[in-house]
Amino acid sequence: MDKLQQKYRNDNLTPDELRRLREEVNSMSDDRLEDSLREAWESAEASSSDAHRLDELKMRIDQRLFPSHRVVPLYWKVLRIAAAVLLPLFMIATVYLYQENTVLSQKDFVATTGKGEQVTISLPDGTQVTLNAESRLSYNLSNFNSDERRVAFDGEGYFRVAKNPSSPFSITAKGLKVSVLGTTFNLRARSADATAELSLEEGSVRFQSLKTGQGVILSPNQKAILDQIHGTVTVEESSYTTDASAWRRGELVFRNVPFAEVLEEIEEIYHVSIAIETEEIDYQGDLFTGVLSRTNINEVLEVIEHSYHLKATLKDGTIRLVDLH
């Protein structure tokens, strides 16, 4: 196989040799593939032509959608995708994944999710992050090491940060910075939203506004809310901080929330529009408490029908709420 690898790097593979190389790599165990990639990295440097192919590889990787609800090291996910999608470019992928050199020093490792997707990833330090739909987490090896652990984030995620007092863990997102040593929390910080929220379950975190510099130290069962417009941070006490991460269980939890906000959340999650054709309820002022499904729109409509004695129909992306009589 070493000869085939070398011939590939020199662009001298015949079609039959390329087929054999693919078959050999596809039949490797994870451990053997990793060993092979490491050996290739140690014996080769990325050329300028590799850089272009690396950018192409990274773009392809970033666009891939990871399987839901599995805990797999982020670098290994990328490695396997590279092997499966772009083989035999694994020689170049090796450099991308394992080597911090002049070509790759500015390259980020990126995990993204699309609409309706969730994925759990494990960072090199053992930190586990579950990304909610339409979220993005990235880090650079130059900023994620034994001295510091810095990640960039946009979206919603559930973080279980591995403890390491000698290497602080920090998250930057639109308008804010979160600093921790080891803790568990849910962070919602979408660049399009007017507010960002962090709900702390375990440990302690520092939540800071980048606009005003205002920072607060949170304890368990506290929630920090950032006003993106003014840069102000408020802290709320709550016995229900786990409600914020209910999305991991496929649930939406509401406690005394205006029904209008509930409908907005349903529209956002299910990508529908809701038309209210009744005067029987004050949907602006009425408060709703309950649990709705994030994955089954029919269950959601059934709860609304029974709670408000309405008839709900869904057609062509529009939900109509009408009186029963």
Which CATH number goes with the domain that contains 293? 3.55.50.30
The per-residue pLDDT for 170 is: 97
Q: Let me know whether 115 and 229 are in one domain.
A: yes
d(CA 289, CA 322): 21
Residue 236 and residue 136 in one domain: yes
Residue 277 belongs to domain spanning: 250-323
| Same-domain check for residues 113 and 239 | yes
Give residue-wise pLDDT tens across range 253-288: 998 888 888 999 899 889 899 998 877 666 667 888
**Together in a domain, 26 and 126:** no
Domain boundary among 186, 219, 244: 244
pLDDT tops 60 at residue 67: no
Q: CATH no. for residue 126?
A: 2.60.120.1440
Helices (H) and strands (E) in the chain, counts: 8, 19
Contact by Cβ (8 Å): 107, 140: yes
Q: Are residues 35 and 82 in the same domain?
A: yes
Does residue 145 carry a pLDDT above 70? Answer: yes
Taking the C-alpha atoms of residue 268 and residue 261, their distance in angstroms, rounded to an integer, is 11
Verify that 159 and 233 share a domain, yes or no. yes
More confident site: 282 or 60: 282
For the chain, state the CA radius of gyration.
Answer: 24
- Residue 132: Cβ-neighbour burial (10 angstroms; 0-12, 13-18, 19+): buried
Token pair recorded at residue 22 = 């693919």
Contact 233, 225 (CB under 8 A): yes
Residues with Cβ within 8 Å of 253's Cβ and at least 6 positions away in sequence, in order, are 240, 243, 246, 291
Of 244, 270, 303, the one marking the end of a domain is 244
Of 58, 87, 73, nearest to 124 (Cα)? Answer: 73
CA torsion 123→126→132→133, rounded to 10°?
30
Boundary (domain end) residue, out of 107, 138, 157 = 107
